[in-house]
Structure 1
Amino acid sequence: MASTYADLVTNSNFIDGTAGWWAGDPVKVTLTAPGAGAEATATTEAVELWDAPFGQDGIVLRKGCAYTLSFTARASQPGTVLRAQVGLAVDPWTVALDKTVTLSAVNKHFYYSFISDLDTTTGQVSFQIGQGTSVTVHLTEVRLTCCTPREGFYVDPDSNAAKWVAANPKDPRAQKITRGLVRRPTAKWFGDWNKDVKADVDAYVGAAAASGLLPILAVYNVFNRDNGGESHGGAKSAELYRRWVDAVAAGIGDRPALVIVEPDALAQIQGLRDDAARAERLGLIKYAAEALGKLPHVRAYLDGGNATWIKPQEMAARLEAAGVAATKGFAVGVSNFDATDISATYGTQVSQALAGLGVPGVRFVIDTARNGNGAMDAAGQHVDYCNPGGRRLGVPSSIGVGGAEYLLWIKVPGDSDGMCGSAPDVPAGTFSPFLAERLIDGG
C-alpha cells in the first residue's frame, strides 16, 4: 500500500538495489545500484532531458497538502543538467513540482517544498538526465515527505489567542498578539474539558493532515491530575482514564501527530498519597505510552519534568517504569522557564541515565514557549512557576539544538498557570492578553 504520510518514496537510498524504481528506454538510459545509491547513465542517444527518465510510481498526492522533495546528487561531468519532477504518472502528466538543477562532480543536497495542486493515487517522482552525451548521475537520499517537521507544524486556528483576537479586533494589543502568538504553532491541549475527545482529536489531527502539516498535541487528563493543584481535575478513575487514552489513540489513527503525554504526572508522583497510588500512576502513564507508541505515525513524549525539579537519575527511573521504551521520547521544561541550554543538559543527563537502565536511544524535546529570558530573575533567583513576570517568548517550534530532537511551544503562551503570580484573577488555562503582551515584550 502506498504511503500517504511521512516518507512517500520507498527504497530511497537504493539499499534494495533498484526495487521500486523504473527507467526509460534502455538504449537511452540505464539505472543500477552498485553500492551506496544509484547510478543513472544516459547515452548519446538521449538528446533531450526527457529522453533519459527514471523514477518511482504509486505516489499519493493530496490537493492543498505541503510536500518536500529532497535528494543528493552528483554527476560524472560537471555542468550536467538534471530535471526533477513530482506529478502524474499518467496522461496528461501534470506536474506539481518541476525543478531543473545543474550538478557538479561532488555531492550536493537539493531541497524543495511545494503545495500540491493534484489529488491522485497515481503520482510519480521522476528525474530526467538526457544531455546528448554519455553521462552518469549518482543519486541517493531521495525523499518525498508529507506531514513532518520538514513541511512545518500545524497552527491551531482556534487557539485561545486566536479566539481572543477574533473577539477583540480593535484592542490595541490585537495586532501584536496576532503576530507574536496566533500565527505560531503551539500544542493543542486535550483533557476533561473535551466532551467527546475522540471526535475532537480526530477533527484536529484530520485538519492538520489535510494541510500536510504536523500537529502538536498535549494530553492532560490523568486520574488525580496535578495532585489537586491549580490544574486539578482529570479522569474520575483509573479505568475511565484508560478508556480516555483509547479514545485519543482512536482519534489520531494512522495520521501523523506529535504528542506530549501528561505534563507533571511523573514529576509529581511523590506527592500522591501512598505507594499504591504511585504504582497506579506509573501504570496509567505506561498504558498511555504503549497506546500512543504503537500508532504508526505518532511521536509521543512522556513528560520528564524540568531541570531544577527531579534529579536526572530519579526521573530516568520513573520514565523507565512508566514505559518510555514504548515511545523512545520524553519532554523537558513543559510549562516552565528554564533556558534551552539548561534544559538540554538535563535532557541529556536523563537520556544517559535511561541508557544505563537498559533503555538506550531515548530522545527528548524542550518546551521553549516561555523560556526566552530563562528562569532567573534580576537578583539571580529562580522564578516561581506560576505566572512570573519578566519572562519572554522562546524559540518557536522547530528542529532541536543541543541534543534536543525538537524545540516546541508546548505550554500555550498567554494561557494562565493559575490564579497566582502576576495574574491572580485568571484561572489556569484561561488566555490573558496581559500575560501574552508581557511575554511578547519580555516585561
Structure 2
Amino acid sequence: MAAVYADLVINSNFTNGTTGWWSGDPAMISLNAPGTGVEAGATTEAVNLWDAPFGQDGIVLRKGCSYTLSFTARASQPGTLLRAQAGLGADPWTVAVDKTVSLSAVDRHFHYSFVSDLDTTMGQVSFQIGQGTSVTVYLTEVRLTCSTPREGFYVDPDSNAAKWVAANPKDPRAQKITRGLVRRPTAKWFGDWNKNVRVDVDAYVGAAAAAGLLPIIAVYNVFNRDNGGESHGGASSAKEYRDWVDEVVAGIGERPALVVVEPDAVAQIQGLRDDAARAERLGLIKYAAEALGRLPYVRAYLDGGNATWIKPQEMAARLAAAGIGAAKGFAVGVSNFDSTDISATYGAQVAQALAGLGVPGVRFVIDTSRNGNGAMDAAGQHVDYCNPAGRRLGVPSSIGVGGVEYLLWIKVPGDSDGMCGTAPDVTAGTFSPFLAERLIDGN
C-alpha cells in the first residue's frame, strides 16, 4: 500500500500543549508546553537515555516508502544526548530510523531520511534524554513526512516555462531556463482559463498521486478577482464561484494536494466598493476554506498578503473571518519579493494575533519563488510589485524551519505580473523568457 504524502506527527509544534504526546515515568521525565515547543525535563533518576522517553503513537509507516524525520532542538546543558527514533510502537519495537545527536545551547535543526522496512499502523516517533543529571531539552518542529524535503513536490510537466522551452529548443536561453525553472516544483494555477476545471484538476492531481508526489496548486478565480486590476477576471458571480470551488474539490477528491487559496483576495478587500461586497468576499473565501478543509489529504492555505501591506492584527482578523480555522494555515508573500526572514517575522506575528483571536496553532508557508534578492532596490527603496528589476529566484520548494511550514514557489517565475515594470508589453500570467533569465541571473 502506498504512503500518503502528509505530515504524520500531529501537534508538531506543541501549540496545543502536549495533546497527542505521551511521556515515561513522571519520576524521571516531565513535559511542559508553554506555547510553541516542548520543555522535556529529565531528573537525576534517569540514568540512561531510555529512562526518560516521550513520543507519539499511531504513526502509519508503509514498507518501501521514503520518509524524513526532522526536528529542532537545544538543551540546558551543552553536550546533552538526544536519541530520536521512528519505528514500531509495540513488541518487538523494530526501529526504522535511530539517531543520537549531541545538543548545544542554541537551536539546531536535524533531519534524517530513511526507507521503511515496516508496514504498520502502529508506528511511533519517540525521543530519549536520560543522562543521570537534571537537564531540559527544548524541542519543536517535530515532523515525519513520507518523502524527503527535496523530493516531495510534483513538477508541472506542462508549465509555461516547459512549453516555451519545448517550442524554442534552439534558443540560447533554453538550457538556462530548463535548469533554473523547468525542473523546479512550482504551483499550478487554476482559474477562469480552465474550461473544465474539474477535469483539469483531476488530471493534474492524479498525475502527481501516480508519481507519489505532492502537487502545489493555487486557486485563483474569486468573484471580482484582483478588484479589476492587472489580473482581473474570475467568476462572474458569487454563486458561480461557489460552484467552481465545488468542481475543484471534486477534482482533487481523496488525494493529497497543497492548495493556496485566492492570492490577494483577503488583502484586497478594502478596495471593494462597500461593506456588503467585503463581507461577500470573506464569505466566498470561507466557503473555499471549508470545502477544501473537508478533504482528508488536502493542506489548504488562505492567502495572507505580504509583510509590507496589511498590519498583522488586521490580517489576522480578516483571516479569522475568512475561515482560517477550517484550513491548514495561510500563505505569505505570494507573487512578492520580501526576503524569507521578513516574511517569516510577519507570518509569526499574524499567527500570534490569530491565537489571540481564539485560533491557535495556525501554520504558514512563504512564497520564495522570486525573493532571492529581497524587495529593496539599490537605493534602499521597496520595489514595485510589478516586474521589478534586480530580483532573483529564491530557495526552491522545500520543507520549512523556524516556524515556517513550507518554502514554496507559488508564483511561477517568468510569468509576468502585468504590462508594467521591465515587461510593459507582456500581459499578466504570460511567460517571458526575458523575465525568466533576469530572475535566474539576478539582474
Deviation at 1:70? 6.0
Which of these two proteins has the greater Rg computed from alpha carbons? 1
SS in 2 for 1:270: helix
Deviation at 1:405? 1.1
Q: Please state if 1:211 is matched with 2:211.
A: yes
Q: TM-score, normalised by structure 2?
A: 0.73
Deviation at 1:402? 3.4
Residue identity (%): 77
Give the direction of change, closer, same or farther, for the CA distance of 1:308–1:14 in structure 2 (3 Å limit). closer
The answer to whether the 8 Å contact 2:23/2:53 transfers is: no
User: Equivalents in 2 of 1:103, 1:430: separation in Å?
Assistant: 48
Deviations 1:75-130 (A, max 9, x none): xxxxxxxxx999xxxxxxxxxxxx999998999x99445699xxxxx967999xxx
Amino acid at match of 2:410: I
CA RMSD in angstroms, aligned pairs only:
3.8
The answer to whether the 8 Å contact 2:96/2:116 transfers is: no
The answer to whether the 8 Å contact 2:285/2:322 transfers is: yes
Amino acid at match of 1:278: R
SS in 2 for 1:163: helix
Amino acid at match of 2:66: Y
> Which residue of structure 2 lines up, in the alignment, with residue 68 of structure 1?
67
> Which residue of structure 1 lines up, in the alignment, with residue 255 of structure 2?
255
Give the direction of change, closer, same or farther, for the CA distance of 1:148–1:225 in structure 2 (3 Å limit). farther
Amino acid at match of 1:199: V
Amino acid at match of 2:409: W
User: Equivalents in 2 of 1:401, 1:103: separation in Å?
Assistant: 20
Amino acid at match of 1:231: S
After superposition, residues 42-441 of structure 1 pair within 5 angstroms as 67-68=66-67, 111-113=112-114, 140=126, 146=146, 149=149, 151-441=151-441
Amino acid at match of 1:281: R
SS in 1 for 2:308: coil
Deviation at 1:346? 0.8
Deviation at 1:365? 0.7
Which runs of no fewer than 5 residues in structure 2 stay unpaired? 10-19, 25-49, 72-85, 89-94, 104-109, 128-142
Deviation at 1:71? 11
Deviation at 1:6? 3.7
User: Equivalents in 2 of 1:179, 1:413: separation in Å?
Assistant: 13
The answer to whether the 8 Å contact 1:6/1:148 transfers is: no
User: Equivalents in 1 of 2:122, 2:379: separation in Å?
Assistant: 61
Give the direction of change, closer, same or farther, for the CA distance of 1:103–1:442 in structure 2 (3 Å limit). closer
> Which residue of structure 2 lines up, in the alignment, with residue 53 of structure 1?
none
SS in 2 for 1:172: coil
Deviations 1:239-258 (A, max 9, x none): 11001111111111111111
Q: TM-score, normalised by structure 1?
A: 0.73
> Which residue of structure 2 lines up, in the alignment, with residue 89 of structure 1?
none
User: Equivalents in 2 of 1:60, 1:243: separation in Å?
Assistant: 37
Give the direction of change, closer, same or farther, for the CA distance of 1:148–1:261 in structure 2 (3 Å limit). farther
Give the direction of change, closer, same or farther, for the CA distance of 1:433–1:104 in structure 2 (3 Å limit). closer
The answer to whether the 8 Å contact 1:113/1:151 transfers is: no
User: Equivalents in 2 of 1:156, 1:316: separation in Å?
Assistant: 32
The answer to whether the 8 Å contact 2:87/2:125 transfers is: no
Q: How many corresponding residue pairs?
A: 367
Deviations 1:315-337 (A, max 9, x none): 11100000001114011110000
